[in-house]
Chain A
């Protein structure tokens, strides 16, 4: 089970890194998208490296799940503001799949009393959560009247184009 999830995660993180790099280039005209995509792609690649000690200990089954998900997403014309919105939407889907992988591996590591792997899973999973928080437009669906109403910056793209 651990070896399967390690393989799944490595594949999904690589797929997410590739998708982020593509989207950073495709929407390079938006400086914050370009910068964010570069930052997050580097995070994903570092997450793949973070799996190395676990691969040495448990091995890794071959997985193509992340790659197949990436190919199913990001289809069709993706130009301009609406295209960007669709790309970000797909990134949330892929990043959420990655985070679920870290959550599952974290639980498995804890059950195996592998403290070192559990810490790595938590660190990587938390970073993925931060990425999703950015992609997710800060929970723009919330109507809650809090002190800091979330800006619906994502929807400016539709309004602008």
Chain B
């Protein structure tokens, strides 16, 4: 087992001071001793698994923390006492301002120490960075099909899955399609302020004014076609915004304003 180890011998196996003195003198040389060192780091912390042994890891699966001497089989249900891990001296994170993304400082947190009570954070409504208008009247949302996973690197090579969903589609509401003069399976061009795709229309009961395009299909089409690397404009994320949630950094791939026309 290859473990990244500090170069200076006095630092061997030392962890951060706030993880307890036990971890500081612990040394590791293989997987089990590394596990033991890390287990000591958890002792007394919210995710305490000091009651877990290296052998138990192999014997059982799904042991839920905390696993301690008092609860050697783990803990199925957390916070049954109504006390949460929020006390300033015990918590692992102070959290963020949900709107700005700024971290809550230790001083700010201590000033309103929840001391075990749950924290419910309010945030003002923030409108999406882009909403449908006259030029881009549809809401685009992107996501997965049941047949594929992400960019199809594996599912695209499974004939049954690839044949079930071989090409990129745009789900459009029946009534919207009628207004656009688009029939089932016809090629449509979907444009946003950032880019465009050309995909087949699939008429469904999706909410009027909405269009769904799976993000599985990049620019290159591969698999069973005659031109395994032919470049096609089918990448849904050509349409989406370059923006993300200030705290979680989750990208804004779920909504954008687009227009649809027959290709």
Q: Which residues of A contact B (CB under 8 A)?
A: 31-32, 35-36, 39, 130-131, 133-134, 136, 138-139, 144-148, 150-151
Contact = CB atoms under 8 A, between A and B. Distances in A.
A36 B100 contact: yes
B129 A35 contact: yes
A134 B16 contact: no
Interface of B: 16-18, 91-94, 97, 99-103, 105-106, 126, 129, 242-244, 246
B244 A147 contact: no
Given A35-B129, A145-B16, A145-B17, A134 B97 contact: yes
B101 A147 contact: no
Given A32-B246, A147-B93, A148-B94, A138 B106 contact: no
Contacts of B100: 36, 39, 130-131, 133-134
A150 B17 CA distance: 17
Main secondary structure of the interface of B (DSSP, over half): loop
B246 A150 contact: no
Contact of A147 (B94, B126, B129): B94
B99 A147 contact: no
B102 A32 contact: no
B246 A133 contact: no
A95 B17 CA distance: 37
Contacts of B106: 144, 146, 148
A19 to B, nearest CB: 17
A139 B105 CA distance: 8
A94 to B, nearest CB: 17
A131 B94 CA distance: 18
A31 B243 contact: yes
A154 to B, nearest CB: 12
A134 B101 contact: yes
A136 B97 CA distance: 13
Contact of A32 (B97, B105, B244): B244
Contact of A130 (B94, B99, B129, B244): B99
A31 B129 CA distance: 11
Given A36-B246, A144-B106, 16 more contacts: A31-B242, A32-B244, A32-B246, A35-B129, A130-B100, A130-B102, A133-B97, A133-B102, A134-B101, A134-B102, A139-B105, A147-B91, A147-B92, A148-B106, A150-B103, A151-B103
A144 B18 CA distance: 12
Contacts of B126: 39
A127 to B, nearest CB: 9
B243 to A, nearest CB: 5
A35 B246 CA distance: 9
B86 to A, nearest CB: 12
A55 B182 CA distance: 58
Contacts of B92: 147-148
Given A35-B129, A147-B94, A138 B99 contact: no
Nearest to A29: B242
Contacts of A39: 99-100, 126
A-B pairs with lowest CB-CB distance, top 10: A133-B102, A134-B102, A134-B100, A138-B103, A146-B106, A148-B93, A31-B243, A31-B242, A148-B94, A147-B92
Contacts of B105: 133, 138-139, 150
A114 B129 CA distance: 38
Nearest to A132: B102
A144 B110 CA distance: 14
A77 B100 CA distance: 27
B52 to A, nearest CB: 23
